[in-house]
Chains A and B, each alone.
Chain A
Amino acid sequence: MTYLSKALMIAAALGLAACTSGDRFGAGSGADGYGAGAGANAGIVPGSANDPQSPAYFNQTIGDRVLFLVDQSSLTPEAQATLDAQAGWLMTNSDYLAVIEGHADEQGTREYNIALGARRANATMEYLISKGVAPNRLKIISYGKERPVEICSEESCYAKNRRAVTVISMGLGS
């Protein structure tokens, strides 16, 4: 990796770090802001979505989130496929840490949904660990129903809100 690309990755990671502080942390929309350090050149731009080592690639190409059935925390085959790819990326890019955010749709009481979001985040984390990701790089947090990404009151929106989002950030030691 060139000095420049390393610098750009750090810049992107700093953008992520800023993104994860305070109020925006829970948005779960991990793609926000990643393009900031990427520049506008054609080809494989370090830090952009076509750089396989970039967070943007993780978020957009691999997919940063898995979805769940109503009131369930078990992983569907589609979710497992996504997590297989997430695990592979995390093992390759070992400088990164991940916080797995668990979320629920609005059909449930507030307290229960926090616990349900934790179950989903934990199921996701346990799967990544089973695929070889070091446990000390992973952490879970539940937002319950507090941070929907879709706002209609129909199943099409609920389905997208029942999610676990793997939010990656540069580790302190790198």
Chain B
Amino acid sequence: MKQVLAQAMVLGLALVAALGLALPNAAQAQGGPLRIEITEGTIEPMAYAVPSFVAETPGAQQYAEQITQVIADDLTGTGLFREIPRDAHISRITSFESPVQFADWKAINALVLLTGAVSEQNGRVTVKFRIWDVFAGTELGDGMQFAATSDGWRRLAHKVADQVYSRLTGESGYFDSRVVFVSESGPKDQRAKRLAIMDYDGANVQYLTDSRSIVLAPRFSPNGERVLYTSYESGEPRVHVLNVGAVQSQIMSAGGGVMSFAPRFSPDGSKVVYSVTSGSNTDIYMRDLASGSTTQLTFTPAIETAPSFSPDGSRIVFESDRSGSQQLYVMPASGGEPTRISFGQGRYGTPVWSPRGDLIAFTKQNQGRFHIGVMRTDGSEERLLTASHLDEGPTWAPNGRVLMFSRETQGASGTSSLYSVDVAGRKLTRVRTPDGASDPSWGPLQ
């Protein structure tokens, strides 16, 4: 296990500074076999136990139970971990400082034990936790604590889960992150759409626009502060930029009579790639946000759309039907000759470069079915992760290990929902949203 852990981490949430606390008796982080390899195709989920965190102040009981539940939901939701139910537990954890009875946890085959405590004081919630390697009888890394205002308690839980995930997989987590998406209501022929933002697990939904105009395909900026989206507010589809904090939007480019859509930020947030339709032709353009200068990147009479930068900013993957059907191409970010990378059966669209740089996710349409899939950036090792009547528009979790996408059910009463799936295709999960939902864009780890 890598020695990456601080004695205590200070977390600023909602402008409230957290107290740092060096936990006593913290065991040394150590190397060991307790590690889950998340790239393997099929694995046995790692069994863990998480007894309800101890409430250390009178007002903390409810937070302790809720935080423990969210942590368990995060971990179990990955498909990498399996929670041993509480009614199987032998030991009870009544104090954060009590010695752990490892034999009791070994007896129920828990490989990992997570213990924690929650306190609440003056509207602030503090959570501290330790991760234990049950069979080695040692602590995995050092204990940590996080604090926030009480309305940020879910983020505290996600922070803890991210630490557990990180220590057990060696990867960064993705639970303390948000997703911007399109909230949908109404039947298919009168569907109302508005932009919304939520926690990655569907909690804390907030609406960013009303439903007067069609809104499509929001995309987070790399730092999560801005959102690009396409709106019909002016009558025709145009790219807009919205400041998430101020909930203020503006049309990105001036000039009427032009349809623009499918925008995405560059990795440094300074540029936007997007499509412009002129007549029957759709090409890809890049706009420098500071100078407002615009560069045309593709020049064929075909449909070129859905551009996405590589994480180093040097290349752009996009879709084009220049060959006669939708296929994926990679070109230098400055434009230039593209290389086709998709060659399988069917049509390929909406490519998205993984933040790790290793894979490109896409929507594939073949024989009346839609799939979310991944391939290496040269097009090799294509793997389809889902299949349904209509799956589309994948977006990467900030650690590049999970995808979220839209799934529309078949028929006159069809509705759209968000799903997530890990890159190995093991765990498909529906993300609960209050209404229908589509076009997710996963923001950065907060």
Residue numbers of A with Cβ under 8 A of B are 22-23, 25-27, 73, 106-112, 114-116, 118-119, 122-123, 126, 139, 141-143, 146-153
Q: A114 vs B261: C-alpha distance in the bound complex, in angstroms? A: 8
- Give 20 new A-B contacts, CB below 8 A, not counting A22-B213, A26-B232, A153-B410: A23-B211, A108-B349, A108-B365, A109-B319, A109-B326, A110-B393, A111-B217, A111-B261, A111-B350, A112-B306, A114-B262, A118-B277, A122-B280, A126-B280, A139-B257, A142-B237, A142-B259, A147-B189, A149-B189, A153-B412
Total A-B residue contacts, Cβ distance less than 8 Å: 105
Contact (Cβ within 8 A) A151 B216: no
The answer, yes or no, to whether B139 is at the interface (CB within 8 Å) is no
Indicate if the CB atoms of A112 and B319 lie closer than 8 Å: yes
Q: A109-B349, A111-B350 are in contact. Are A73 and B188 (CB under 8 A)?
A: no
Are A115 and B282 within 8 A (Cβ)? yes
Whether B303 lies near A119 (C-beta < 8 A) is: yes
**Residue in A112, A126, A143, A147 whose beta carbon sits within 8 Å of that of B349 in the complex:** A112
Q: Is B363 an interface residue (CB 8 A)?
A: yes
B408 at the interface (CB under 8 A from A): yes
Distance from A8 Cβ to chain B, minimum over Cβ atoms (Å): 27
Cβ of B390 < 8 Å from any Cβ of A? yes
| Contacting pair B411 A152 (CB below 8 A) | yes
In the complex, what residues of B have CB within 8 A of residue A116's CB? 303
Chain B residues, Cβ within 8 Å of A23: 192, 211-213
Q: Which residues of A contact B78 (CB under 8 A)?
A: none
| 8 cross-chain CB contacts under 8 A | A27-B190, A112-B303, A114-B237, A114-B305, A115-B275, A115-B282, A153-B389, A153-B410
Inter-chain contacts of B321 with A (CB < 8 A): 112
Cβ of B282 and Cβ of A150 under 8 Å apart?
no
User: Would A148 and B188 be within 8 Å (CB), given that A122-B279, A153-B410 are in contact?
Assistant: yes
A68-B7 Cα distance, complex, nearest whole Å: 65
A108 CA to B160 CA, complexed, in Å? 40
Residues from chain A with Cβ under 8 Å of B306 in the complex: 109, 111-112
Question: Does B214 reach chain A (CB closer than 8 Å)?
Answer: yes
Contacts of A111 in B (CB 8 A): 217, 261-262, 275, 305-306, 319, 349-350
Q: Using a CB-CB cutoff of 8 Å, which residues 217-265 of chain B contact chain A?
A: 217, 232, 235-237, 257, 259, 261-262
Determine which of A22, A73, A110, A126 lies in contact with B216 in the assembled complex, contact meaning CB atoms within 8 Å.
A110
With beta carbons under 8 angstroms apart, the residue of B217, B282, B365, B411 that contacts A110 is B217
B85: Cβ under 8 A from any A Cβ: no
Size of the B side of the interface (Cβ < 8 Å), in residues, is 46
Considering only CB atoms, which chain A residue lies closest to B412 in the complex?
A: A151
Q: Which 6 A-B pairs have the closest CB atoms?
A: A115-B282, A109-B349, A122-B280, A115-B303, A151-B188, A111-B262
Instruction: Kindly name the residue among A107, A109, A142, A149 whose own CB sees the greatest number of chain B CB atoms within 10 A.
Output: A109
How many angstroms between the C-alpha atoms of A107 and B390 in the bound complex?
8
Does B280 contact A119, Cβ atoms closer than 8 Å?
yes
B408 touches A106 (CB 8 A): yes
Centre residue among A110, A119, A148, A149 by max chain B CB count within 10 A: A110
Complex: chain B residue closest to A157, CB-CB: B412
| Chain A residues closer than 8 Å to B349, beta-carbon distance | 108-109, 111-112
By beta carbon, the residue of chain A nearest B364 is A109
User: Closest residue to A99 on the B side, CB-wise?
Assistant: B235
Which among A22, A110, A118, A143 is the interface contact of B212 at CB below 8 angstroms?
Answer: A22
* Residues in B337-382 with C-beta less than 8 Å from chain A: 349-350, 363, 365, 368
Tell whether A110 pairs with B412 under 8 Å between CB atoms, given A115-B277, A146-B214: no
Which residue on chain A has the smallest CB distance to residue B350?
Answer: A109
In the bound complex, what is the Cα–Cα distance between A152 and B189 (angstroms)?
A: 10
- Assembled-state Cα–Cα distance A121/B408 (Å): 26
Nearest A residue to B274 by beta-carbon distance?
A: A111
Complex CA gap A158/B235 in Å reads: 24
